[in-house]
Amino acid sequence: MWRSLFLALGAYTCLLGVEALAIDKAVLKKPTDGRPPVFDREELVPPDWAPWSLMATGAVVVLYSFTIPRRAWG
């Protein structure tokens, strides 16, 4: 179970780094709660170091997940 958890977390972190490398900014639109359509927007700009750090951390976690021994069913 731990092995699959770490593999999933590492793969997700790696993919998040690839996505941060591909975009310049993300615009998040907040819900208006039934009010007139006032667009509350928030821009998320990833720093220059974020994509490479996320991909490297994800790769290390994926490699670590392969070193975790499988559970012995004996």
Is the pTM of the predicted complex or chain greater than 0.95?
no
- Residue 13: inside a domain, yes or no? yes
- Residue 73: inside a domain, yes or no? no
Residue 34 gets which letter from DSSP? T
- Nearest CA among 11, 4, 2, 13 for reference residue 52: 13
Per-residue pLDDT of the chain (74 residues; tens, 9 = 90+): 889 999 999 999 999 999 999 999 988 887 766 666 666 788 889 999 999 999 999 999 999 999 988 775 54
Burial of 71 (0-12, 13-18, 19+ CB in 10 A): exposed
pLDDT digits (tens, 9 = 90+) for 43-56: 889 999 999 999 99
Q: Which amino acid is present at 9? A: L
- Residue 72: inside a domain, yes or no? no
- Residue 47: inside a domain, yes or no? yes
- Residue 74: inside a domain, yes or no? no
Amino acid 32: pLDDT: 67
Instruction: Look up the domain containing 11 and give its range.
Output: 2-67
The per-residue pLDDT of the chain, averaged, comes to 87
- Residue 52: inside a domain, yes or no? yes
Amino acid 73: pLDDT: 53
- Residue 25: inside a domain, yes or no? yes
Give the total number of structural domains in the chain: 1
Place of tokens 């996505």: 19
- Residue 63: inside a domain, yes or no? yes
